[in-house]
Structure 1
Amino acid sequence: MSALPYRGAPSQPLFGRHHTACQRVLLASRARTCPPPYRESSRTPMMDRHVVRQRPRRRSRSRESSMTAPTAPSATASHYQTDFPASEFRERRNHVYEAIGPDAVAVLRGMPASGAFDLFRQHNDFYYLCGLEVPHAYLLLDGRKQESTLYLPSRDPHHERSEGRTLAVEDAPELCRLSGVEQVHALPALESDLQASATVFTPRSPAEGYLACRDTLEHARRMIESDPWDGSPSLETRFQERLAKLLPSANFSDLSPILDSLRLVKSAAEIAIMRVAGRLTAIAVTESMRCTREGLYEYQLAAVADYCFRLNGARGGGYRPIVASGDNIWNPHYFRNDATLDSSDWVLMDYAPDVRNYTSDIGRMWPVNGRYTPWQRELYGFIVDYHKVLLSLIRPGVTAATIYQEADDQMRHHVEQTAWSRSSFRKAALDVLTYNRHLTHPVGMAVHDVGHYHDEPLLPGIVLALDPQLWIPDEQIYVRVEDTVVVTETGVENLTAAAPLELDDVERVMRETGLLAARPDLLQ
């Protein structure tokens, strides 16, 4: 992929669309409301990545051809992904078969329709196993037969007349070829297909969608459950209750830990997407540095990042933007972004795009007036140095605890010998060395992605947030610098390294002209 310029409108976007249009996906609608189940023949060639549309023959301009009924419109973007071959989805499902055992099935519920005119975004677990972005879909993984079945709604001509074509059960042959599933059935068939199941796995953790992470969803779930005027069960709980009523003698188990462990280690194709997301994250943050000036609102810097994201093929942000200035920095997940930038403040920005259902993570801090104060240089400079030490120590086969101890061995003498301007700074720096969560969380389809690595040796393919942080509670000072990194076979790759890190580099970038220099004052 060609390099993308940092400024100005690129000649072409990083991605033409959120998902490349899947050509020749949709078949003509059938007259039956519920077609019979489709099962892929073993003689059907699998199309691993792209569906090729043959060049249509030019029609005669005769009177007869002009009376021919129009064919069904072709598919548009967002119907089916082209980033992963069917073989990769099959491999993921094979891991699930192995984990649940030969006598069990796993069933996943896809994202329902939102009821709003927004771009549909499938639940992450569901997308991970089949790549399908259609509302009200279900997926059955049968460990007994080592086969997978998709269950989809039938075509809705009235809805498609309004919003355009979508994939439906009538498109079964193409769906089998694209996703590698063995069968595609209409929704009502799921009930009968589950009848003989003795052990059923289904996810119990809340399903992540657009802008969502499991930790925030779990917090929302707890709030609803504790609300005396609500208390309604989660979608996952309701789905399992429905299954238990259908299968009263079945045993039910949680599929979430199995999927979490699979999603933790990224494939080469996933890392390729995240590499682009990291590059675009760095471009957006760098442009936000250039555009920073006194009098702007925090949300205007978020708008600069959004412009960079969408101009280059992302669907938007991968999570809610954090653009905190002044006292707002003390709240790590500040989100209102409605304060005015003051020349004496500095800014913390944490924002990354959603690129084909994958995101990144970053944290940079810079002064509104373009020059760090002495105390900002003292603390932020230390965190940058510690960040670089941690980065140099990340490698496969070692635990996070080992990395922290090695970093302590390198940095403690430096911290103790530094002539800190305040005793509180020295104490905070020493506390940084003993904090055990600087390799903060996995990153992937969600910014706070699923999986656990803190107590296990790091594996190649784990993508995580390297986010050393410093706190001084009495002075409400919070300092951090964050990058998204991937553990490789020999070490580590920094996916967001293109964003300026060194303090002098940040100040140099801030002297450059940003895109807001050409922004007209429309409200003046």
Structure 2
Amino acid sequence: MIKEKEYKKRRDHFAQKLQKNSVAVLCAAPQRVRSNDTEYPYRQDSNFYYLTGFKEDNAALVFVKKTTECKVYLFVQKKEPTLELWTGKRLGSKEAKKRFLVDNVYIISKLNPKTKEFLEGAKNLYYDFKAQNEKIEQLKTLSKNILEFKNAASIVEKMRLIKSSSEIALIKKALKITKEAHHKAMWASKQLSFEYELQAEIEYIFKKNGAYSDAYTSIVASGDNANTLHYVDNNKPLKSGELILIDAGCEYDYYSSDITRTIPVSGKFTKEQKELYQMVLDVEKKIISMIQPNILRSKLQSEAEKLLCKGMVKLGILQGDVKKLLKEKAHKKYFPHGIGHYMGLDVHDQNPYKDKKDKEISLKAGMILTIEPGIYLPQDDKKIPKKYRGIGIRIEDDILVTKDGYKNLSIDIKKEIKDIEVYSSL
């Protein structure tokens, strides 16, 4: 659990980044309608949560910086017993004042009049340019004297690049739960009939252990389905002799895990499956070993592509000179995605990959990213040796960059061929 003092420290850091004579407004995520009068389970906006730890909707955080001093105000929904009867208890302004280390707390109905007051004499208005929120649109109409609009999200997202010890602890907790879920899948696959049954086993483990939300829609892709990168139908039969690509991770107290394992339905890899799997695993381990402060993600990407291309030539999936194939991007047909991404409050954290000069940001201690090489060989691709057609493999781990190199936070989730086969037979 992250303490209020840490959220206060984040708000102070954000305030330091604001120019003088500025107002910054960040809003809670709105409720999203699923159909008619039913809504999706609520999930707070990640940037708003990062600065507050507040999980309710209909809220806003306002920074008012005239000179060097910055005042911070939180706006929350008023407590209404009738509404709470239907949708649950609210913290309310009185309790929020006790909990949050801000200068004042107001009810949300005062957001417009108070912000109109705050905007007097202000020259800059910061808000999240991507936010689709009617409160922001209303505020923009009040800002007639504003000379410049600035993106508040870009400041917060840069702050989110480096994880604190408490954030790392939450991600480790998410991974501990995810480990149990993937190991259960290895054991259960041969006993089940459909992809969705395996998905249910995985997500049961998530919720049983207090991870009430999936970090993303689980991918349980057997056979040729694994060659659709974002396959989420999860409704096909599980067939003995095929592999299952399982990309599934939970979210624990808003922090994500993101793990992919590829396992045999029957518990045993065929010779051809072993050849492909070991190639991908060797690439993954090599790329992970390269991680250290100041290395560029583009270097990890290019090395992964080179190694996978060499492996494809060795197995007869591609023919020709490796350098020429890389130049022609022939390998991209079977490895079309990136080697990994930042991870944290979002499974795909929207942290900057480039600086203001459009120069790539190198890795720094405290960053967490995924490493996920793969190979995808469609059933209908006649250029591939027949024995490999219909196989898709991806192996993904979550890596913390340390001051001396890296730490694989998901190292305990089985991925060696012999370990998967042993675990499947338990």
- TM norm. shorter chain > 0.5: yes
Change (3 A) 1:272 1:426: farther
Structure 1 residue 407 displacement after superposition: 6.5
Change (3 A) 1:417 1:306: closer
Residue deviations 1:27-66 (CA, integer Å, cap 9, x gap): xxxxxxxxxxxxxxxxxxxxxxxxxxxxxxxxxxxxxxxx
* Alignment partner, residue 95 of structure 2: 171
Tell me the distance in 2 between the aligned counterparts of 1:412 and 1:137. 48
In the superposition, the TM-score normalised over structure 2's length comes to 0.85
Q: Which amino acid aligns with 2:4?
A: A
Residue deviations 1:55-105 (CA, integer Å, cap 9, x gap): xxxxxxxxxxxxxxxxxxxxxxxxxxxx22222112211222222212211
Q: Which amino acid aligns with 1:108?
A: L
Structure 1 residue 111 displacement after superposition: 2.4
Partner SS, residue 449 of structure 1: coil
* Alignment partner, residue 357 of structure 2: none
* Alignment partner, residue 247 of structure 1: 143
1:84 correspondence with 2:6: no
Higher share in strand: 2
Kept in 1, the 8 Å contact 2:240–2:265? The answer is yes
Change (3 A) 1:371 1:149: same
Counterpart selection for 2:127 from 202, 210, 221: 202
Tell me the distance in 2 between the aligned counterparts of 1:169 and 1:312. 32
Tell me the distance in 1 between the aligned counterparts of 2:406 and 2:393. 24
Structure 1 residue 468 displacement after superposition: 0.9
Structure 1 residue 476 displacement after superposition: 5.7
Structure 1 residue 185 displacement after superposition: 1.1
Residue deviations 1:167-206 (CA, integer Å, cap 9, x gap): 012324313xxx3211101223322332213311110224
Q: Which moved more, 1:282-291 or 1:256-265?
A: 256-265
1:124 correspondence with 2:8: no
Q: Which amino acid aligns with 1:123?
A: D
1:344 correspondence with 2:238: no
- Which one has a bigger Cα radius of gyration? 1
Tell me the distance in 2 between the aligned counterparts of 1:161 and 1:416. 61
- 1:213-232 aligned at under 5 Å gives the runs none
- The number of aligned residues is 396
Structure 1 residue 414 displacement after superposition: 7.5
| Unmatched runs of 5 consecutive residues or more in structure 1 | 1-82, 207-234, 513-524
Structure 1 residue 421 displacement after superposition: 5.5
Residue deviations 1:106-152 (CA, integer Å, cap 9, x gap): 10111234564775432111111111112201110223341210111
Counterpart selection for 1:102 from 17, 20, 30: 20
* Alignment partner, residue 55 of structure 1: none
Q: Which amino acid aligns with 1:104?
A: S
Structure 1 residue 412 displacement after superposition: 8.7
In the superposition, the TM-score normalised over structure 1's length comes to 0.69
Tell me the distance in 2 between the aligned counterparts of 1:255 and 1:169. 25
- 1:285-324 aligned at under 5 Å gives the runs 285-293=182-190, 296-324=193-221
Q: Which amino acid aligns with 1:204?
A: F
- Tell me the percent identity: 28
CA RMSD between the two structures = 2.9
1:269 correspondence with 2:166: yes
- 1:49-60 aligned at under 5 Å gives the runs none
Kept in 1, the 8 Å contact 2:305–2:331? The answer is no
Change (3 A) 1:426 1:364: farther
Structure 1 residue 448 displacement after superposition: 1.2
Kept in 1, the 8 Å contact 2:245–2:262? The answer is yes
Structure 1 residue 436 displacement after superposition: 9.8
Change (3 A) 1:293 1:105: same
Kept in 2, the 8 Å contact 1:287–1:304? The answer is yes
Tell me the distance in 2 between the aligned counterparts of 1:326 and 1:425. 28
Residue deviations 1:215-242 (CA, integer Å, cap 9, x gap): xxxxxxxxxxxxxxxxxxxx24x44432
Tell me the distance in 1 between the aligned counterparts of 2:317 and 2:337. 25
Change (3 A) 1:425 1:269: farther
Tell me the distance in 2 between the aligned counterparts of 1:490 and 1:385. 22
Tell me the distance in 2 between the aligned counterparts of 1:412 and 1:122. 39
Kept in 1, the 8 Å contact 2:280–2:394? The answer is yes
Tell me the distance in 1 between the aligned counterparts of 2:86 and 2:173. 34
Q: Which moved more, 1:384-393 or 1:294-303?
A: 294-303
Kept in 1, the 8 Å contact 2:283–2:308? The answer is no
Tell me the distance in 2 between the aligned counterparts of 1:497 and 1:252. 44
